[in-house]
Structure 1
Amino acid sequence: MNKAAVTVMMIYAPSSSGRTAELLGGATGFVGFSALQDLGYVPAASQGVLTDDSAVSTEFRVTLRKMTKKDATTKIKALQEFETLCGSEDLESVKSALPFWPRIYAKLSIDAERRVREAAQVANKALVIQVGKQLAPHLRAVMPTWVLAMVDPHTPAALTASKAFHEAFSVEKRAEVLLFTCKAVVDHVSDNLFNQTPQTLSDPKVTAEEDMKSKYIRVLSCSLNGLSLLLSTTVKATAKKPEVIAEVKPVLQNPKFWKLAKHEHSLVSI
């Protein structure tokens, strides 16, 4: 049986759904989490695909556009340039790229080429360390990808993503961050498990069938292990356990979830 299912069975208890504001309580967290919640803030990047990048500094705009190319080498070089810019440009220039980063980061983090995925985590680490508290409004957009990256089967990518998370948030704040972004992470996992296919995750026109299947299996595996990571981290905040389970409950009630335990691929079934 997959690790996520095992984790769920170990901590599952009946619960009623709770508002995110109640989930967060009086936590101050990384930066005004409760204040953002009360304002009903929705990260710009989650409202749809951003296409007008005219507000992005010239250097970052060029680099971000290179990341959308098909060639792996081009994407890796662009990510390395992005990392360098995060350390050399002024804070306002770095911040200008923030609304566009979650969407690009999400795509690069599941790239078929493991070197691209690793470079994406290095770039993300450079960005979040540089912007600090300015990342807060974008957390719900970026954390689903970040959580799954921490369980990437390519060890260097996973270790870099984990190191970035540990450097960005103190031990005391990590559970709070995941509580704050819990719904976004669960929604992302649910979409991967129940809606996505090899054809939707890749472009069938330019991707070999075997490569599409390989990416799909990896995304399923990361989604299950990411859910396990979310649960094992957030339930340590025992007072919030019912609210966390309430968010996860719809995933558990989907018959497709339990069928994954018998998946033909060991990355998914075990």
Structure 2
Amino acid sequence: MGGGKKNVPRVKGNARPASSSRAADLADPASVSLFRANPSLAFNQLLNQGTNGGGQAVYSSADSSGTGSNYSTRPSTPDSFLSSASHSGDAAMELLLKKLNKRDPQTRIRALEETKTLVEDRSVNNLQLLTHAWPRLYQRCAVTSERRLRLLANQVNTILVTKLGRHIQPILATLLPPWLLTFFDPITDVAQEARSGYEKLFKPDKRVKALVKCRESIMTYLTKNICQHTADSLVDPKLADAEERRRIYERIVSSSFRALSHLVQTIPPDQWPTPRHDLDALLDENRFWEKCYHSAPIIRRSAYGVLSSLTSYYPEALDSRQSYLGHAFIRKAVMDKDPTTHQELWEALTL
């Protein structure tokens, strides 16, 4: 009696339970010191880290050259780094970032409303945490099926980039790929807001220059969407059922094709590298050509549109790929019975 051990809750694997003191023990002292001295720089470095062990895959921040393209393998997934960001000295912004990173769409919608007000009220210097986190948050919003969330994200984006002006340069190569994708969102209000923000940020003579500067990261992003992602890799099955994942996938792939058409049509030939390594690599992918006879009409239409653009602006690419063109397009696509695809199909055939 009286000498027995106290009952202590067991922890799986005999691991020590998490706590703020335990986290402090594990933290890199240099990182802690950097957070205290320069929280914005420290947070930016945190965003640029990859994941190890069980961490979530993360969407890239721009590297020091401004051409970072280490995109997430599942863009819909909340970012574990953003959820745990702290020590910045800006408690209001830390809380807002955590809300923006939640899974629940309604929480994120309310957080975006708060973000609009916050961005309008703060100076550029007081928006550094949001600025560095924004490309990740924005690309998550681009993937969601919630129309209201996508519209609000683009409204915030317009306000933020307009306020940042030239200060957007460090994140532009990371932000522009999903931003360009959203130019072609099937919801008119969303697409118009995305384009409006771009036109407010860049004067007419600067718009093409921005695409040229970020071409590499844009092509990386579009290639992954078109050739690598599936519905399950693009959207976490825990966040959406199979039907919703399918609809999101079809929208993202279709918009990616349309963004690619825009890139081919807009960037002058002498502004592409010779040869066009990234574009040629995409055109040599079987999965690119398979989209010409994909089961979804929205994907087939946009794929036909790319072929039309290539015929007009980069015909030598098709001249050297007659085997692809003959098998995927001439033999299969011409059998397309869906009348909603026939205009784009006819244009691709007759140009």
TM-score bracket for this pair, using the shorter chain length:
0.7 to 0.9
| 1:212 match | 245
**1:91 pairs with 124, 131, 136, which one?**
124
Larger radius of gyration: 2
Partners in 2 of 1:171 and 1:56 — Cα distance? 39
TM-score (norm 1): 0.79
> Which of residues 199, 208, 211 is equivalent to 1:178?
211
- Determine whether 1:59 maps to 2:68: no
Equivalent-residue separation in structure 2 for 1:71 and 1:246 (angstroms): 40
Distance in 2, Cα, partners of 1:184 & 1:43: 6
* Bigger relative contact order (CA 8 A; separation at least 6): 1
Question: Following the alignment from structure 2 to structure 1, what is the Cα–Cα distance between the partners of residues 86 and 135?
Answer: 14
Match of 2:65 in 1: 41
The separation in 1 between residues aligned to 2:93 and 2:232, in whole angstroms, is 31
Match of 2:157 in 1: 124
**Residue 60 and residue 260 in structure 1: after superposition, are their counterparts in 2 closer, same or farther (change >3 A)?**
same
TM-score by length of 2: 0.61
Residues 148-191 of structure 1: per-residue CA shift (max 9 Å, x gap): 01111111110000000001001101111000000100100111
Structure 1 pair 201/229, CA: closer, same or farther in 2 (3 Å)? same
The match for 2:104 is 71
Match of residue 191 from structure 1: 224
- Of the structure 1 ranges 209-218 and 53-62, higher mean CA displacement relative to structure 2 is found in 53-62
1:97 match: secondary structure = helix
Tell me how far apart the structure 2 counterparts of residues 200 and 231 of structure 1 sit (CA, whole Å).
Answer: 27
How far residue 195 of structure 1 moved from its aligned partner, in angstroms, is 1.5
Answer with 59-68 or 100-109: which moved more: 59-68
Matches for 1:162-177 after TM superposition, within 5 Å = 162-177=195-210
Match of 1:26 in 2: none
Q: CA deviation at 1:42?
A: 4.2
Q: What is residue 202 of structure 1 aligned with on the other side?
A: 235
Partner in structure 2 of residue 32 of structure 1: none
Aligned CA distance change for structure 1 residues 239 and 110 (closer, same or farther; 3 Å): same
Contact 1:44-1:138 within 8 A present in 2 as well: no
Q: Return the alpha-carbon distance in structure 1 between the equivalents of residues 256 and 216 of structure 2.
A: 14
C-alpha contact (below 8 Å) 2:103/2:239 kept by paired residues: no
Q: How does 1:21-36 map to 2 (within 5 A)?
A: none
CA-CA distance at 1:113 after TM superposition: 0.8
Cα deviation for residue 53 of structure 1 reads: 4.8
* CA offsets 1:122-154 (integer angstroms, 9 cap, x no match): 111111011111110111110001000111111
Q: Output the amino acid matched with 1:248.
A: L
Q: Is the 8 A contact 1:45 1:99 kept in 2?
A: no
- Distance in 2 of aligned mates of 1:47 and 1:259: 23
| 2:100–2:107 Cα contact (<8 Å) kept | yes
Where 1:185 maps in the other structure, the secondary structure is: helix
In the superposition, relative to structure 1, how do residues 126 and 201 fare at CA in structure 2: closer, same or farther (>3 Å)?
same
Aligned to 1:269: 300
Q: Which of the numbers 126, 137, 155 marks the counterpart of 2:170?
A: 137
* Residue-pair matches, total: 230
* Residue identity (%): 25
**Residues 44 and 53 of structure 1: CA distance in aligned 2, closer, same or farther (over 3 Å):** farther
Aligned-partner Cα distance in 1 for 2:155–2:291: 31
CA distance in 1, matches of 2:147, 2:274: 35
The aligned counterpart of 1:226 is 259
Offset, 1:43:
6.9
Structure 1 position 60, deviation (Å): 2.3
Unaligned 5+ residue runs, structure 2?
A: 1-62, 73-78, 302-351
Letter in 2 for 1:247: D
My pick for the range that moved more, 201-210 or 135-144, is: 201-210
Residues 47 and 248 of structure 1: is their aligned pair in 2 closer, same or farther, counting only changes over 3 Å? closer
Indicate which of 277, 280, 295 corresponds to 1:249. 280
Shift of 1:109: 1.2
Query: Relative to 1, partners in 2 of residues 1:202 and 1:177: Cα closer, same or farther, differing over 3 Å?
Result: same
For residues 128 and 158 of structure 2, the distance between their equivalents in structure 1, rounded to whole angstroms, comes to: 14
Assess if the C-alpha contact under 8 Å between 2:69 and 2:220 holds in 1. no
SS in 1 for 2:143: coil
1:56-107 superposed Cα distances (whole Å, 9 cap, x missing partner)? 7332222221112222221111111111111101221112311111111111
Closer/same/farther in 2, CA of residues 213 and 47 from structure 1, 3 Å limit: closer
For residues 165 and 244 of structure 1, the distance between their equivalents in structure 2, rounded to whole angstroms, comes to 29
What CA distance in whole angstroms lies between the structure 2 residues aligned with 1:79 and 1:244? 42
